[in-house]
Every structure is written in structure tokens, then in C-alpha cells.
């Protein structure tokens, strides 16, 4: 195992990294009882194809500027929403090929294809972990940006041949029919609503995703290294970092200074008995406050 330092993704990477990113997501999809209930009856090949279609549709938009690492270079400063994707590669592994891409392009799940181009993704090694961060500007700036985005959305036509469903003209990509979609939608909406209720309007960084290829690359410090990338930015801007912790991720976030926040100690709960399972699944809203700096 030969791991790289965290690498920033660029828009040029979007087309070639899809198989690696989907494989990481697939490796942890059924790690919890809730995951088993949602996805456990669906063949792995169907889940893989669906996840690849999701990544292929989302990455081109998520990798557009402005980016967090360009704070000091693009002239926009702290007044715009920003994203950043980081990955770690294992240079002893070969990247996965996207052999199903041609057939996926004819599948109803895949309405938009990222532009192909040579990029840093052509380097050796397979992506074995990724982190997704989002910067939220101050509330008054965010409200103005959202209003401008809404105006742009209403004046621009949807892409030709795409149904008019969301901001970029696509309908949400539907999962395979054997996925417990009612539970999937309920839980995803519950978590997003809790995040918005607790942190909406807050000037902060958000950890939108942090995942490592399971089980081969777990407990090797990779997630900690990726997570730590955002802390200097947060401390420099004197803003918190927020997230909704999964059961496997909760101990990691405690270790890095996050604390539960919100009603019921930040717990977001799902009684799986209501959905044909048993037990209670829980995520926890957490916050890491910036480290105080002494006078310079």
C-alpha cells in the first residue's frame, strides 16, 4: 500500500474518476443496519451502475469554481459559496475502468455525461478515499447569491432532451427498483432538514462527505488526514466546521474536536421498525469550533 497525500480534484478529473468514487461509496453502502434495509436486497451490479450514474451526473457541477483552495486567488473572497473535493490514491492499485459507461449512456439513469479530457486522473493509482467540503458564506451574502441563482435558473432553458426537474434540468436519478426507496428518501430528507434547521444561515464549512474504501483502507489514518485539510481554513476565517456524523464516523469526529450540538444532543433518529426492520439508526449533528489564535 503506497498512499498519496490528499489531492485536489479539478473539473478535468470528473470523467475518469467515476468508477473509483462509486466503488468507495458501494463499499460502505450496507455497513449499517439502515444501509442493509435500504440496499441489502439489490444486486451489487445494479447498485454499482446506479452509483456511477449519480457520480457522473453530479461531479461536473460540484467541481466548478469557485473552490475553497482559491480563496486567495480568484478575487471573490469569503462572499460566495465554495466547494472542494480531495482524494487519496493508492499507487499500488490500478484505477477501475468505466466499462459500463457506454451502456450507461443509454440508460435512463444517465441523462448528462461529463466532458472527457486528459487530466491528473490519468496518473497512476486508484482513488481509495475522498472528502467533500462546502463553504457557506454569511447569511446575507448567501441570500443574495441564492436569489441571483434563482433568477438565472428561471431565465435559462433546460438542456435539450432533459426533463425539467432540478436546477440543472435533470430529474433526480432513480435507484434500482429493489432499493427501499421510501426509506432512502425519508432518511435523506430527515438528515438534510436537520442540518438546515441547526446550521442554516451559519457562516461555516460543512463536511458533506468523507469516505474510505472498505474494508481494505479503513483505520489507516486516511480519513483523519483528509478531514484535517479543512481545519486551517476554518481557523483562519474563525468559523466552525459542521456535519452530520454517521455511526462509524462519530468516534473519528470526537477525536478531532467535534462535539454534538442541537436538541436531543444532536441526534437524528430513524425507527427502522416503521420500515420493516428493527432497531433505531442515528446520526449526530456535530460542530468543531475554530481554535482561538493569540495576538500577532
Q: Is the peptide bond before 95 cis (omega within 30 degrees of 0)?
A: no
- Structural domain contains residue 293: no
Domain encompassing residue 192:
7-98+124-148+177-288
Q: CA 104, CA 176: separation in Å to the nearest integer? A: 13
pLDDT of residue 139: 82
- Structural domain contains residue 214: yes
Task: Tell me the pLDDT band of 260, cut-offs 50, 70 and 90.
Answer: very high
Q: CA 277, CA 171: separation in Å to the nearest integer? A: 29
3-state DSSP call for residue 76? coil
Task: Tell me the pLDDT band of 220, cut-offs 50, 70 and 90.
Answer: confident
Q: CA 116, CA 203: separation in Å to the nearest integer? A: 35
Q: What percent of the chain has pLDDT over 70?
A: 79
What number is the average pLDDT over the span 49-68? 94
Q: How far is CA 194 from the centre of its chain?
A: 17
Q: How far is CA 186 from the centre of its chain?
A: 18
How many domains does the chain divide into? 1
What number is the average pLDDT over the span 192-210? 96
Q: How do residues 88-124 score in pLDDT, each as one tens digit? A: 999 999 999 876 544 444 443 443 333 333 344 445 8
3-state DSSP call for residue 256? coil
- Structural domain contains residue 165: no
- Alpha-carbon distances, residue 284 vs 168, 228, 231, 263 (angstroms): 31, 20, 20, 10
- Structural domain contains residue 156: no
Q: How do residues 65-90 score in pLDDT, each as one tens digit? A: 999 999 999 999 999 999 999 999 99
- Structural domain contains residue 153: no
CATH number at residue 64: 3.40.630.30
Within 8 A by CB and 6+ apart from 70, the residues are: 76, 82
pTM of the complete model: 0.82
- Structural domain contains residue 154: no
- Structural domain contains residue 113: no
- Structural domain contains residue 250: yes
Amino acid at each position: 500500500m503506497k498512499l498519496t497525500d490528499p489531492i485536489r480534484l479539478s473539473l478535468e478529473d470528473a470523467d475518469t474518476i467515476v468508477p473509483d468514487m462509486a466503488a468507495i461509496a458501494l463499499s460502505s453502502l450496507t455497513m449499517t443496519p439502515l444501509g442493509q434495509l435500504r440496499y441489502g436486497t439489490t444486486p451489487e451490479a445494479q447498485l454499482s451502475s446506479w452509483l456511477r450514474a449519480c457520480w457522473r451526473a453530479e461531479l461536473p457541477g460540484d467541481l466548478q469554481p469557485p473552490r475553497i483552495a482559491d480563496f486567495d486567488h480568484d478575487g471573490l473572497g469569503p462572499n460566495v459559496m465554495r466547494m472542494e473535493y480531495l482524494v487519496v490514491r493508492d499507487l499500488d492499485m490500478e484505477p477501475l475502468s468505466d466499462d459500463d459507461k457506454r451502456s450507461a449512456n443509454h440508460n435512463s439513469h444517465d441523462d448528462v455525461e461529463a466532458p472527457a479530457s486528459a487530466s491528473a486522473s490519468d496518473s497512476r493509482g486508484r482513488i481509495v478515499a475522498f472528502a467533500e467540503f462546502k463553504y457557506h458564506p454569511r447569511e446575507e451574502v448567501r441570500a443574495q447569491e441564492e436569489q441571483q441563482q434563482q433568477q438565472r435558473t428561471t431565465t435559462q432553458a433546460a438542456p435539450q432532451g432533459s426533463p425539467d426537474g432540478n436546477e440543472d434540468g435533470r430529474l433526480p436519478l432513480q435507484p434500482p427498483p429493489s432499493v427501499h426507496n421510501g426509506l432512502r428518501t425519508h432518511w435523506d430528507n430527515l438528515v438534510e432538514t436537520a442540518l438546515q434547521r441547526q446550521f442554516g444561515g451559519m457562516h461555516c464549512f460543512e463536511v458533506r462527505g468523507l469516505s474510505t474504501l472498505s474494508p481494505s483502507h479503513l483505520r489507516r489514518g486516511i480519513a483523519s488526514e483528509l478531514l484535517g485539510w479543512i481545519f486551517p481554513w476554518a481557523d483562519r476565517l474563525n468559523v466552525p466546521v459542521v456535519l452530520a456524523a454517521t455511526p462509524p464516523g462519530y468516534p473519528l469526529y470526537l477525536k478531532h474536536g467535534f462535539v454534538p450540538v442541537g436538541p436531543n444532543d444532536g441526534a437524528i433518529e430513524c425507527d427502522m421498525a416503521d420500515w420493516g426492520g428493527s432497531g433505531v439508526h442515528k446520526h449526530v449533528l456535530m460542530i468543531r469550533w475554530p481554535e482561538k489564535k493569540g495576538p500577532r
